[in-house]
């Protein structure tokens, strides 16, 4: 087999990557591409110039990589995701390519500096939270491990909204990330596919068989934008292809000819709205026609592209499962099952049975949530109108599937009703999760507990039918971003002791364990954390005008704001600490800064109330001159770049979801890897983190998933908890009676009423044990050396949670590729 090096050697003159060559390219790009005089260039001009210099080198490597994959006839993996939460790309590219140092020097000589110009880059925030960030980590891993993996998604004109905080409340601003142009993308105006919506079916017979033509309706063009993604420390560059919607012909000629210019323009705008904006919900199904159109739009273009490439390489369609694996990132792209069937049956005229075998052989599906409100369903009537042929195909899939069910469970009509892809119980709805499970050969949950719960509850009937289809693949994170880049001082310290193999083999970190007994190493580790805390404190001062002391314990909860993640439980603890200070009962209490960051879905009223409450509490607590122990900070506009600053500075990581609700969590992994201790429930990947770091090195509290289920069955009575704990009662009363909102005392009446009556996440039930666990945190923190040892053991033992392990598991257990020998 050829290697990338061999293919590279075929090329006569790859661009040199030393300091002088980079300097030359940067200056050239500044003058000729950006069009600026080096003497008057702004930071942004320099940013663009450097980015152009880097991308020239990336795209060369991309070509070699493509050539190699084409020549070697490798099986390709396609990751279909509505979201990619990538963040900034410049530093990532420089570090992956090994250009970081020479680039710093080149810029220095050009009279500017990298640190300032990187701040000018916008985050590529094409995702909501965990699911989107996981997709970005997976791309990094596939490229770094030389897997032939392609991402497909949508090039949203506007990504995740910017969060402002005004008078304590979240306000949303549009994310115009493309305003200054995007040097990281390659528009491919020749790579276009038509995507049809609406219209009707025409039936005709061919050799006695019914055939369908989907006619009329509206056609939109999907145009490709390529985002090459370089691997770390190799010459491999994979590709993320994002689709933008364009009007069929820039203006509809018919309207033009009829003289209706305005109508022509209007239709153009309407088609192009499909890729305009990312839906900012991450826990409730949206059910909007435009969302369905987004899903089908990117799926149809991607499947057409995948089939085109397969045929173009000279393979027959029967070879599709041998050469292609497609991963569905949640149900958002699940319509792909019907789309591939449509292409195979209608366009390529394969018999149904053969098409179905191919489809099932190609797809697999990852589930990312158990929350019933996040499970996608589409009204049959809507699906029929927007995608008439797909609705018909779904009926046919369901017909064959339910026959299999009846065959396996004779006489059990109930299971047929429960398993059907069509839910008949609340108006007729297409269950996208069922379509995804039926159309896939593998289904995975994202942590051990999560997969268990899938098998026991959500997909129990499917599990009884096809037990071997279900696997657990615990999530991971890329150490390149979340340790090497975000925490360069810790990375350097680690490398000094164990070398730098850990960047591609995170299990190497276990070699740090003996260092725990080395006072000098401990001192180094402590200094790194201290510097990271000082850095964060400086940013908080600069952006929010609040002084926080790096001596305090930095207690961090950073994630989407959602009831199930229980930021409210954290707030109740903050108020409890504050009351102890006010009562003079806090002699033992460690000074603490509780940091929150996260966005609420704009339509999620209660989550927005929670943000407002955090800010109201912060206002009172931070301004009380008698309080020298407890501060509260809400850092606005949480995104990948902000995460990379907060995480290395954290002492304590809050992972306090109601057990059984957080599928995995990945922020928990990032924080523990960077030496924060976790306070958490036995939920999601926390369970596996406890196993890895050891139960002495984590603070576990509260009900486990079984206890939660039991309490639900028995009937949760929040009032009992309220009555039984005086400190809890006091904290709740203060919020309810307007202590933190004197201008509007009734502001949180409803919120507290809700906690006391029907809160499904049972915040009050876990309060007491949570406060106890925090007392253990305080006690440990008072012994800095003991704390430090545990923090270091966390870092040393987190190797398992590398995304590279996750991706290798997918490769072997799901995609059927053996990546050995690919470097
Ligand atoms: C859900 C929905 C619901 C339908 C409408 C639009 C929409 C958009 C995004 C989502 C994503 C929710 C699922 C999600 O982000 N799950 C998170 O996935 C992480 C990666 O597996 C995991 O670590 C988190 O625990 C899980 O909440």
Nearest to 248 by CA among 220, 216, 223, 222: 220
472-483 pLDDT, tens per residue?
999 999 999 999
Q: How far is CA 523 from CA 207, 490, 515, 517, 527, in A?
A: 80, 12, 11, 11, 6
218-268 pLDDT, tens per residue?
999 999 999 999 999 999 999 999 999 998 866 566 666 777 777 778 888
Domain-embedded: residue 724: yes
3-state SS assignment for residue 302 = helix
DSSP state of 563: G
Nearest to 473 by CA among 150, 76, 79, 808: 808
Mean pLDDT of 344-358: 97
322-344 pLDDT, tens per residue?
999 999 999 999 999 999 999 99
| Residue corresponding to tokens 């090497």 | 484
pLDDT at res. 261: 76
Catalytic residue among 666, 681, 795, 806: 666
Q: Which atom of ligand 1 is nearest to the CA of 665?
A: 23
Three-state DSSP string of 586-648: CCCCCCEEEEEECCCCCCCHHHHHHHHHHHHHHHHHHCCCCCCCEEEEEECCCCHHHHHHHHH
Q: How many domains, in total, are found in the chain?
A: 2
Q: Which atom of ligand 1 is nearest to the CA of 133?
A: 20
One domain, residues 78 and 147: yes
Domain-embedded: residue 431: yes
3-state SS assignment for residue 762 = coil
- Rounded to the nearest angstrom, the distance between the alpha carbon of 275 and the centre of ligand 1 is 20
552-600 pLDDT, tens per residue?
999 999 999 999 999 999 999 999 999 999 999 999 899 999 999 999 9
Q: Is 565 a catalytic residue?
A: yes
In whole angstroms, give the CA distance from residue 241 to residue 712: 45
In whole angstroms, give the CA distance from residue 212 to residue 347: 10
369 CB less than 6 Å from ligand 1? yes
In whole angstroms, give the CA distance from residue 523 to residue 1: 48
Mean pLDDT of 60-79: 95
Pocket test for ligand 1, best of 85, 288, 373, 374 (most atoms within 8 A of CB): 374
pLDDT at residue 4 is higher than 90: no
- Rounded to the nearest angstrom, the distance between the alpha carbon of 280 and the centre of ligand 1 is 11
Domain-embedded: residue 691: yes
Strand 429-431 with 377-379, pairing:
antiparallel
Q: Which atom of ligand 1 is nearest to the CA of 130?
A: 19
In whole angstroms, give the CA distance from residue 72 to residue 65: 11
**Count of alpha carbons within 13 angstroms of residue 111, beta-carbon side:** 7
Q: Whose CA is nearest to atom 1 of ligand 1?
A: 282
Catalytic residue among 196, 670, 736, 797: 670
pLDDT at res. 708: 98
Pocket test for ligand 1, best of 330, 453, 476 (most atoms within 8 A of CB): 330
| Tokens found for residue 714 | 């028995």
Contact 144, 823 (CB under 8 A): no
One domain, residues 491 and 612: yes
374 CB less than 6 Å from ligand 1? yes
pLDDT grade for 384, boundaries at 50, 70 and 90: very high
Domain-embedded: residue 264: no
Q: Whose CA is nearest to atom 11 of ligand 1?
A: 282
What is the longest distance spanned by two Cα atoms in the chain? 89
pLDDT grade for 206, boundaries at 50, 70 and 90: confident
Mean pLDDT of 156-185: 98
| Tokens found for residue 603 | 């339509």
- Rounded to the nearest angstrom, the distance between the alpha carbon of 333 and the centre of ligand 1 is 13
Q: Is 737 exposed, middle or buried (0-12, 13-18, 19+ CB in 10 A)?
A: middle
507-561 pLDDT, tens per residue?
999 999 999 999 999 999 999 999 999 999 999 999 999 999 999 999 999 999 9
One domain, residues 394 and 538: no
pLDDT at residue 12 is higher than 70: no
pLDDT grade for 11, boundaries at 50, 70 and 90: low
413-426 pLDDT, tens per residue?
999 999 999 999 98
The CATH number of residue 388's host domain is 3.40.50.2000
pLDDT at residue 738 is higher than 60: yes
| Tokens found for residue 286 | 């949206």
| % of the chain beyond a pLDDT of 90 | 92
Here the contacts of 741-744 (C-beta below 8 Å, separation 24 or greater) are: 741/616
Domain-embedded: residue 265: no
- Rounded to the nearest angstrom, the distance between the alpha carbon of 282 and the centre of ligand 1 is 6
pLDDT at residue 7 is higher than 70: no
Q: What is the CA radius of gyration of the chain?
A: 27
One domain, residues 213 and 142: yes
Instruction: Give the end of a domain, one of 411, 446, 474.
Output: 474
pLDDT at res. 821: 42
284-298 pLDDT, tens per residue?
777 799 999 999 999
Pocket test for ligand 1, best of 663, 665, 668 (most atoms within 8 A of CB): 663
One domain, residues 210 and 336: yes
Instruction: Give the end of a domain, one of 452, 474, 496.
Output: 474
pLDDT at residue 462 is higher than 50: yes
**131-143: burial string, b at 16+ Cβ within 10 Å, e else:** bbbbbbbbbbbbb
- Rounded to the nearest angstrom, the distance between the alpha carbon of 328 and the centre of ligand 1 is 13
Nearest to 27 by CA among 3, 48, 6, 5: 48
Q: Which atom of ligand 1 is nearest to the CA of 286?
A: 5
One domain, residues 533 and 635: yes
| Tokens found for residue 391 | 């609705």
546 CB less than 6 Å from ligand 1? no
Nearest to 700 by CA among 719, 681, 715: 681
One domain, residues 416 and 528: no
Pocket test for ligand 1, best of 80, 85, 126, 131 (most atoms within 8 A of CB): 131
One domain, residues 451 and 492: no
Mean pLDDT of 637-649: 98
366 CB less than 6 Å from ligand 1? no
**Count of alpha carbons within 13 angstroms of residue 481, beta-carbon side:** 33
pLDDT at residue 366 is higher than 70: yes
One domain, residues 448 and 494: no
pLDDT at res. 16: 87
pLDDT grade for 823, boundaries at 50, 70 and 90: very low
285 CB less than 6 Å from ligand 1? yes
One domain, residues 188 and 134: yes
Structural domain containing residue 355: 73-87+123-245+289-474
Pocket test for ligand 1, best of 295, 333, 368 (most atoms within 8 A of CB): 368
pLDDT at res. 251: 56
Containing 435, the helix (H) or strand (E) segment is: helix 432-438
- Rounded to the nearest angstrom, the distance between the alpha carbon of 643 and the centre of ligand 1 is 18
Starting at the edge strand found earlier in the chain, the sheet holding 429-431 runs 377-379, 429-431, 422-423
One domain, residues 666 and 713: yes
Instruction: Give the end of a domain, one of 424, 442, 474.
Output: 474
662 CB less than 6 Å from ligand 1? yes
Q: Is 666 a catalytic residue?
A: yes
Starting at the edge strand found earlier in the chain, the sheet holding 363-366 runs 186-197, 218-230, 237-247, 149-154, 76-80, 324-329, 363-366, 442-445, 470-472
pLDDT at residue 820 is higher than 70: no
Contact 610, 592 (CB under 8 A): no
Nearest to 46 by CA among 122, 118, 124, 123: 118
- Rounded to the nearest angstrom, the distance between the alpha carbon of 322 and the centre of ligand 1 is 30
Sequence-separated (6 or more) residues with CB below 8 Å from residue 286:
279
Domain-embedded: residue 611: yes
Q: Is 670 a catalytic residue?
A: yes
In whole angstroms, give the CA distance from residue 646 to residue 634: 12
660 CB less than 6 Å from ligand 1? no
- Rounded to the nearest angstrom, the distance between the alpha carbon of 463 and the centre of ligand 1 is 22
- Rounded to the nearest angstrom, the distance between the alpha carbon of 296 and the centre of ligand 1 is 19
334 CB less than 6 Å from ligand 1? no
- Rounded to the nearest angstrom, the distance between the alpha carbon of 817 and the centre of ligand 1 is 27
Q: Whose CA is nearest to atom 8 of ligand 1?
A: 282
665 CB less than 6 Å from ligand 1? yes
Catalytic residue among 76, 565, 608, 629: 565
Contact 289, 385 (CB under 8 A): no
One domain, residues 470 and 548: no
In whole angstroms, give the CA distance from residue 690 to residue 794: 10
Q: How far is CA 309 from CA 66, 73, 81, 324, 364, in A?
A: 12, 12, 19, 10, 20
- Rounded to the nearest angstrom, the distance between the alpha carbon of 664 and the centre of ligand 1 is 10
Q: Whose CA is nearest to atom 2 of ligand 1?
A: 282
Catalytic residue among 241, 332, 560, 790: 560
Q: Is 368 a catalytic residue?
A: yes
- Rounded to the nearest angstrom, the distance between the alpha carbon of 794 and the centre of ligand 1 is 26
What residues pair up with 444 in beta bridges, in sequence order? 366, 471
Mean pLDDT of 672-701: 99
Instruction: Determine how many CB atoms are found less than 10 A away from the CB of residue 56.
Output: 14
31 CB less than 6 Å from ligand 1? no
In whole angstroms, give the CA distance from residue 332 to residue 367: 10
Domain-embedded: residue 17: no
In whole angstroms, give the CA distance from residue 220 to residue 270: 10
Sequence-separated (6 or more) residues with CB below 8 Å from residue 245:
220, 221, 222, 223, 271, 272, 273, 274, 275, 297
pLDDT grade for 8, boundaries at 50, 70 and 90: low
Q: Is 407 a catalytic residue?
A: no
Domain-embedded: residue 271: no
| Tokens found for residue 377 | 């369903």
| Residue corresponding to tokens 């039991």 | 710
């Amino acid at each position: 087999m050829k290697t990338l090096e061999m293919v590279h050697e075929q090329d006569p003159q790859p661009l040199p990557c030393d300091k002088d060559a980079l300097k030359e390219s940067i200056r050239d790009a500044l003058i000729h591409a950006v069009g600026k005089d080096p003497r008057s260039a702004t930071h942004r001009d320099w940013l663009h110039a450097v980015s152009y210099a880097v991308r020239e080198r990336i795209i060369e490597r991309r070509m070699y990589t493509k050539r190699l994959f084409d020549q070697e006839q490798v099986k390709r993996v396609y990751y279909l995701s509505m979201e990619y939460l990538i963040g900034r790309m410049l530093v990532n590219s420089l570090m992956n390519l090994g250009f970081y140092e020479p680039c710093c020097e080149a810029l220095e000589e050009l009279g500017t500096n990298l640190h300032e110009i990187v701040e000018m880059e916008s985050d590529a925030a094409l995702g909501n939270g965990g699911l989107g960030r996981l997709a970005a980590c997976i791309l990094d891993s596939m490229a770094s491990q030389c897997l032939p993996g392609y991402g497909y998604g949508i090039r949203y004109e506007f990504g995740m909204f910017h969060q402002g905080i005004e008078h304590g409340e979240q306000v949303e601003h549009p994310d115009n990330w493309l305003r200054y142009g995007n040097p990281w993308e390659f528009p491919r105006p020749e790579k276009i596919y038509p995507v049809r919506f609406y219209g009707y079916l025409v039936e005709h017979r061919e050799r006695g068989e019914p055939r369908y033509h989907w006619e009329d309706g509206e056609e939109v063009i999907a145009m490709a934008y390529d985002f090459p993604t370089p691997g770390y420390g190799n010459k491999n560059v994979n590709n993320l292809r994002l689709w933008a919607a364009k009007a069929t012909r820039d203006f509809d000629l018919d309207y033009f000819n009829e003289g209706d210019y305005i109508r022509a323009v209007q239709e153009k705008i309407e088609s192009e709205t499909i890729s305009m904006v990312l839906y900012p919900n991450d826990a409730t199904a949206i059910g909007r026609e435009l969302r369905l159109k987004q899903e089908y739009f990117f799926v149809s273009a991607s499947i057409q592209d995948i089939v085109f490439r397969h045929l173009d390489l000279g393979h027959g369609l029967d070879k599709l499962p041998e050469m292609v694996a497609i991963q569905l990132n949640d149900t958002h792209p699940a319509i792909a099952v019907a789309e591939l069937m449509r292409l195979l049956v209608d366009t390529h005229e394969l018999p149904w049975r053969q098409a179905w075998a191919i489809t099932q052989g190609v797809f697999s599906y990852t589930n990312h949530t158990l929350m019933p409100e996040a499970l996608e369903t589409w009204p049959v009537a809507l699906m029929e109108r927007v995608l008439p042929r797909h609705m018909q195909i779904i009926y046919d899939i369901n017909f064959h599937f339910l026959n299999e069910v009846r065959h396996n469970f004779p006489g059990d009509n109930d299971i047929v009703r429960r398993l059907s892809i069509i839910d008949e119980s609340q108006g007729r709805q297409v269950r996208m999760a069922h379509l995804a499970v039926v159309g896939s050969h593998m289904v995975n949950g994202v942590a051990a507990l999560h997969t268990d719960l899938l098998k026991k509850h959500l997909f129990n009937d499917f599990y009884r039918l096809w037990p071997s289809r279900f696997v657990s693949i615990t999530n991971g994170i890329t150490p390149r971003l979340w340790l090497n880049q975000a925490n360069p001082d810790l990375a350097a310290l680690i490398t000094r002791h164990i070398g730098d193999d850990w960047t591609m083999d995170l299990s190497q970190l276990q070699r740090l364990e003996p260092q725990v007994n080395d006072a000098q190493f401990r001192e180094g580790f402590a200094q790194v954390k201290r510097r990271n805390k000082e850095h964060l404190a400086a940013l908080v001062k600069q952006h929010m005008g609040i002084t926080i002391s790096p001596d305090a314990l930095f207690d961090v909860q950073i994630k989407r704001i959602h009831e199930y993640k229980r930021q409210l439980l954290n707030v109740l603890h903050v108020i409890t600490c504050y009351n102890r200070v006010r009562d003079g009962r806090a002699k033992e209490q460690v000074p603490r800064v509780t940091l929150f960051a996260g966005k609420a879905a704009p339509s999620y009223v209660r989550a927005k109330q929670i943000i407002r409450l955090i800010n109201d509490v912060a206002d009172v607590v931070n301004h009380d001159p008698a309080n020298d122990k407890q501060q509260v900070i809400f850092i606005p506009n949480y995104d990948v770049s902000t995460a990379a600053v907060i995480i290395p500075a954290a002492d304590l990581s809050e992972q306090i979801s109601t057990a059984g609700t957080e599928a995995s969590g990945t922020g928990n992994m990032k924080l523990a890897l960077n030496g924060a201790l976790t306070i958490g429930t036995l939920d999601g990947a926390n369970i596996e983190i406890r196993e890895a770091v050891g139960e002495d090195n984590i603070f576990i509290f509260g009900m486990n998933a079984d206890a939660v289920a039991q309490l639900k069955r028995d009937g949760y009575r929040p009032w009992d908890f309220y009555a039984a704990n005086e400190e809890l009662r006091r904290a709740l009363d203060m919020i309810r009676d307007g202590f933190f909102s004197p201008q509007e005392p009734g502001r949180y009446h409803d919120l507290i009423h809700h906690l006391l009556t029907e809160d499904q996440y049972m915040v009050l039930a876990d309060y007491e044990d949570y406060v106890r666990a925090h007392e253990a945190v305080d006690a440990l923190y008072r012994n800095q050396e003991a704390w430090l040892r545990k923090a270091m053991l966390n870092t040393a033992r987190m190797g398992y949670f590398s995304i590279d392990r996750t991706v290798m598991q997918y490769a072997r257990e799901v995609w059927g590729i053996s990546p050995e020998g690919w470097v």
